[in-house]
Amino acid sequence: MQTYWGIDLGGTKVEGVILSGSSPDSVVFRHRIDTEADRGYHHIIQRIATLVDTMKAETGYLPEALGIGTPGTLDPTRQTMKGCNTTCLNGMPLHRDLESTLGTSVMIANDANCFALAEAQMGAVQDIAPNFRSVFGVIMGTGVGGGVVLRGNDGQAFVLNGMQGIGGEWGHNELEKDGYPCYCGKYGCVEQVFSGPALQRYYQEISGTSLKLPQIVERHQQGHDPHATATVERLLENFGKAITVIVNILDPNAIVLGGGVGNIDLLYTEGPKRAAKYVFNDRFDTPIVRPKLGDSAGVFGAAMLTFK
């Protein structure tokens, strides 16, 4: 049987999956272990090797290739990792070290790219635009990461990593002049305006009270907290403005919103109306959809990197 192997490397967990095909019910085996990232880079390599050994032993299959989704990205020129919030990975030749340790070919992509690939090919986009030419997937949670999926004339979908490995990194476009400093070294990034922590920080600044985002949204809907309403307005208006940057360039067949902020219903009802104000068109027709694969998108997308 043909199998496809994927690893989702997170800061706390590393998860592996073996798929037999491109549907969510084609899972042959799935397993997760602690990353133990605090023990450093070489330990992380060993944890991945341990996981792959378990996958082999439990199923009797061997990987032809292995896809891996990571925080940050592999710099295509330097062949080292960059932009990882698991900071011990930065500057390290993860691709080379995994190939030599595991003895198999490895495809690396950013975790938001894996999310976008899985939702495009296996998840939400299949319901509305199965013959898509392009999809933009974005995880709006504690950070904001994005990925572009394209389909070539041969019918094969693939992630657009880009010449510098930053394809889809919409979360670090400048959205607010003189805005908050971002960990990336710039100011006023999309991520500093409407990630979950950024919205909570904004609410706290104007109200003096610290609340989680779902409570802020609830208070807005109850209609008696003007600070909550101002925070939700900040999200909707800035989301509308920022998403048209993608639509004016890529004009994708669908946009998929993952992450905790992506759970907010108003993004799907009011978001397109706000975007219509800014888009280079007389209407905003781009479908904005919820993801379907939940926590599985990252690891499924990693396995799909090995599809030929």
- CA dist 66 and 199 (Å) reads 37
Q: Determine the residue type at 152.
A: G
Residue 105 has phi, psi (to 5 degrees) of: -75, 145
Residue 52 CA, distance from chain mean position: 23
Whether residue 257 contacts residue 145, with contact meaning beta carbons closer than 8 Å, is answered with no
Whether residue 176 contacts residue 188, with contact meaning beta carbons closer than 8 Å, is answered with yes
Q: Which is nearer to Zn ion, 61 or 180 (CB)?
A: 180
Q: Which is nearer to Zn ion, 184 or 230 (CB)?
A: 184
Q: Is residue 182 a contact residue for Zn ion (CB under 5 A)?
A: yes
At 181, list the tokens: 């400093």
Taking the complex as a whole, the smallest distance from the CB of residue 127 to Zn ion amounts, in Å, to 32
Whether residue 159 contacts residue 109, with contact meaning beta carbons closer than 8 Å, is answered with yes
Per-residue binding string, Zn ion, 188-227, x by CB under 5 A, is: -x--------------------------------------
Taking the complex as a whole, the smallest distance from the CB of residue 184 to Zn ion amounts, in Å, to 3
Taking the complex as a whole, the smallest distance from the CB of residue 143 to Zn ion amounts, in Å, to 9
Q: Which is nearer to Zn ion, 47 or 172 (CB)?
A: 172
Residue reference for tokens 């030749």: 93
Residue reference for tokens 């925080």: 71
- CA dist 117 and 296 (Å) reads 12
Q: Which stretch binds Zn ion (CB under 5 A): 47-55, 92-100, 182-190, 230-238?
A: 182-190
Question: Quick one: which of 88, 184, 245, 266 contacts Zn ion (CB under 5 A)?
Answer: 184
Taking the complex as a whole, the smallest distance from the CB of residue 190 to Zn ion amounts, in Å, to 8
Taking the complex as a whole, the smallest distance from the CB of residue 172 to Zn ion amounts, in Å, to 4
Interacting residue ranges for Zn ion, rule: CB under 5 A: 172, 182, 184, 186, 189
